[in-house]
Structure 1
Amino acid sequence: MNPLIFSTIISTLMLGTLLVIISSHWLLTWIGLEMNLFAIIPLIIKSHNPRSIEAATKYFMNQASASMLLMMAILVNFMNSGQWTMTNLENTAASYLAFTALIMKLGMAPFHFWVPETLQGSPLSSGILILTWQKLAPLCILYMISPFINHYLVMITAMMSILIGGWGGLNQTQLRKIMAYSSIAHMGWMTAIIIFNPTMTLLNLIIYIITTLTMFLLLIKTTSTTLLSMSTNWNKFPLLMTLTSMTLLSMGGLPPFSGFIPKWLIIQELIKNNNIILSLTMALAALLNLFFYLRITYSTTLTMFPSTNSTKHSWLLNKTDNLLNLPTLTILSTMLLPLTPILLFMD
């Protein structure tokens, strides 16, 4: 891609998200979401194959439908309140429409079908943006309107997302689809606590972005897209495969890694608010995610390839050797558990 065009697309993508974050006006927020949408489409189809075009089409159709629902919610709210501010969403129909639009943009159940297909047809570099940066703007809006949303609807949606994110990833062999279902489950955890303690949502979002970014950079480094291709990388990248297994266990929420922090604190906060059954169900559903993370770990690091690799170089040249931020991201995604008392004090 032309460097000038690429820099323009990235600038538009960043500006759209920042406009949503700093704005309290519904119209400016909607414009920021549209800038986000139109900037990510060229990044999805940059590989120029039918699969990426199909993925971009599915992504555009879903996001455009969500934008129309959000605009309808904005107009209904304006007709009833006469205001454009985001902190005034008293109308019930407007809050339902806005929440539906946001969970469509976040890829949560029952509007999760586009996430695995879009991610499977996108390059790994674009998949990072879809699962991390593109979540910031809808979550920011959900954070601001959370007091006006029906609590039971939020809990049902969160629980469905956690369950589908766990069940959907069990029979997958494509790593991008596994990461997509992992994202669906993580979005469910973030939404479940946004009613009781929005700060926990931000903490979960930060750790989710760190671990997802680390995992995708490791996949780009090893050029792995399937379980089979990853299982043959142990002889070529033993250290990277070890880091990959640690990152996967952290994403599954296994102590003593960093991914255990948000799950621990969210379950603790739900129990404080007398949601014992919900927290127990969420903890059991998290075992589904941990199962397919452990399966990837077993197939990559705990099993050896039948014959030793006699070649020292890959057939395909790897041009992503300058990942200087990978050690830092790996440390952050695996070793933050001792900081939990400080995070509790800040909360």
Structure 2
Amino acid sequence: MLLLGIITLVMTIPLASTYLSTILIHRIAFLVLLFSGLLTYNTLYVTPLSSGIGILGGLFQTTLLSHSLEIFILILGSIILLITPSDEKIKDLNKTTTNMFNYWDNLVSNSVKKFLPIVKNNTQLIDYPLIVLFTTLGMISLISSSDLIIMFLSIETQSFALYILATMNRNSESAVAAGLKYFLLGGLSSCFILLGSSLIYSYTGLTNFESLNILQSVIGQSFEENSYNYLAIGTLILTIGLLFKIGAAPLHSWAPDVYDGVPTIVTTWLTIMPKLSILIFFIMNNFLIDSNLLMISALLSLLLGSITGLAQYKIKRLLAYSTISHVGLILLALSYDTINGLESTLFYITQYSITSLNIFLILILLGNTLDKNSITSIYSPIQYISQLRGKFYYNPALSIAFSLSLFSMSGIPPLIGFFGKYFVINTALMNGNYFLSLVIVITSVISTVYYLQIIKTLFLPDTNNNTISISGSNNLSPILVYIVAILTLFIIFFMIYPTPILNSIHMIATTQYYC
């Protein structure tokens, strides 16, 4: 269904771009993702999924885990696609941009202006949902890939679409610079992945994951000793390339610059979606991953993400370092090849994705309260933490939801983020790793400092009176407001009825671990 939707949009947009509105293209892509998720859900209870189903001669393998997370990815992607401007705003975009520049002249320095887009037409916005479908196709293909060649092609399908997304605002100097940096460093990481895959193939003569796994399990320790010069190094290099893709330390330097430079809607996608597919690939094919390297990267990610975030004054750069810290927690849980490690990984990925999506949705909605004639929600004007000052007095509901989401990120009980960190710490303690458990506690306390900084700014009065009155919130999308309300309630009240999620994760983890 997803591939059919891409083909349809590829044929439709060039032929009818004059007659089709941007909002209609976005809604079509939204329906494609939603219907794809529904079709996937309808096949979720097929019995052979428990042991896996090979597709296309073993190039792809579908399991209960990959099927479930594919549904999760499609739902998240469809929600992000709901963030779209109206046609009226697109028509008046140049005029409102000029007004926004005049507004910003009285608010902040000229350095902020480079973040405001000057869009001459809506071509970029029409192409945006098509690119999103392409990167989603790459993500789903990567999750189900069962061959080194398909793995690489899926990663490149995902990555090249992301490079285009990063440079979607071609009139912004910061977005183009961020996209170029993302492209160059992403190409470097692809070289590592290709080199590691080549070394594995040169020694074993195999590209199929199942065959590689069987070969490793049959030969055992002698296999590891004899193959050290090729297989072990190939696995190590492959892991480095994949860690580069998800922005884990010490391969994280590109992430804050890219997340800060691109439009906020693209930052939302980059922060959540690409990481999901690669982390799920780690889970599905842990025999290809160097667990020691995962643990080292987890430790560095926890330290660098928490400590470096203290010095940030831009909101998206701070959230980028926060993401690095959370990736460290996921990698730590992944490094333990136990069912508890798998369960804590799946739960943390789920709660992090939901909370992070809620934070960025609220950030975009709060940006629209700057002015009743705010330019499209895709380009949130909020770039600095100081711009959040006084937001509580102009939109209390969104500000409280934002604060609760940040508290969840920091692991404050009884919010869902607390349980995510608890499960990871419990897994580390059960495996006798007391040092990393202590590091998680310390870094969580440190990261709470910069989360509290944001919350404090929200509730401080705006002495400059730069924020427009609460009437500016009338242009907020009702659909997005409802989604924020649902996600916030889920974050708050998870503790009251956690059974469905925990039981589902336990069932999926049990099926994956023992089959």
Question: Normalising by structure 2, what TM-score?
Answer: 0.63
SS in 2 for 1:159: helix
Q: How does 1:216-235 map to 2 (within 5 A)?
A: 216-223=360-367, 224-235=382-393
2:319 aligned partner: 179
**Amino acid across the alignment from 2:461:** M
1:73 aligned partner: 196
Alignment check: 8 A CA contact 2:390 2:457 kept: no
Distance in 1 of aligned mates of 2:179 and 2:494: 36
Deviation at 1:275, TM superposition (A): 0.8
Distance change (3 Å), C-alpha of 1:290 and 1:84:
same
Alignment check: 8 A CA contact 2:201 2:207 kept: yes
1:129 aligned partner: 269
Compare 337-346 and 31-40 and name the one that shifted more: 337-346
Distance change (3 Å), C-alpha of 1:149 and 1:238:
same
Alignment check: 8 A CA contact 1:221 1:321 kept: no
Distance in 2 of aligned mates of 1:310 and 1:277: 49
After superposition, the C-alpha distances for 1:188-247 in whole angstroms (9 at most, x for unaligned) are 000001122123212111111101100000000011332111113222111111111111
Compare 270-279 and 334-343 and name the one that shifted more: 334-343
Distance change (3 Å), C-alpha of 1:344 and 1:242:
closer
1:297 corresponds to 2:455: yes
1:112 to 238, 242, 252: 252
1:41 to 160, 163, 166: 163
Alignment check: 8 A CA contact 1:193 1:201 kept: yes
**Amino acid across the alignment from 1:75:** S
1:204 to 325, 330, 348: 348
Alignment check: 8 A CA contact 2:239 2:290 kept: no
Deviation at 1:321, TM superposition (A): 4.9
1:84 to 186, 207, 229: 207
Deviation at 1:46, TM superposition (A): 2.1
After superposition, the C-alpha distances for 1:117-172 in whole angstroms (9 at most, x for unaligned) are 00110111000110111112221222233245443322111010011010111011
1:100 aligned partner: 240
Distance in 2 of aligned mates of 1:342 and 1:310: 43
Distance change (3 Å), C-alpha of 1:264 and 1:311:
closer
2:488 aligned partner: 330
Distance in 1 of aligned mates of 2:250 and 2:464: 45
Consecutive unaligned residues of structure 1, counting only runs of 5 or more, are: none
**Amino acid across the alignment from 1:115:** A
Consecutive unaligned residues of structure 2, counting only runs of 5 or more, are: 1-121, 217-230, 368-381, 507-515
Q: How does 1:250-265 map to 2 (within 5 A)?
A: 250-265=408-423
Deviation at 1:279, TM superposition (A): 0.7
Compare 37-46 and 53-62 and name the one that shifted more: 37-46
Q: How does 1:127-206 map to 2 (within 5 A)?
A: 127-196=267-336, 197-206=341-350
Alignment check: 8 A CA contact 1:99 1:142 kept: no
Distance in 2 of aligned mates of 1:63 and 1:138: 14
1:214 corresponds to 2:358: yes
Distance in 2 of aligned mates of 1:85 and 1:337: 42
**Amino acid across the alignment from 2:165:** L
2:176 aligned partner: 53
**Amino acid across the alignment from 1:24:** S
Deviation at 1:95, TM superposition (A): 1.0
Distance change (3 Å), C-alpha of 1:116 and 1:317:
farther
Deviation at 1:318, TM superposition (A): 4.8
**Amino acid across the alignment from 2:204:** S
Q: Percent identity?
A: 24
After superposition, the C-alpha distances for 1:295-333 in whole angstroms (9 at most, x for unaligned) are 1111212x333477784444x995645413111111223
Deviation at 1:344, TM superposition (A): 5.4
After superposition, the C-alpha distances for 1:244-273 in whole angstroms (9 at most, x for unaligned) are 111100011111111011100111111111
**Amino acid across the alignment from 2:398:** L
Alignment check: 8 A CA contact 2:272 2:353 kept: yes
Distance in 1 of aligned mates of 2:309 and 2:410: 12
Distance in 1 of aligned mates of 2:468 and 2:286: 57
Alignment check: 8 A CA contact 2:143 2:278 kept: no
SS in 2 for 1:83: coil
Q: What is the aligned residue count?
A: 345
After superposition, the C-alpha distances for 1:69-112 in whole angstroms (9 at most, x for unaligned) are 11111111111111112352751011101110011001011111
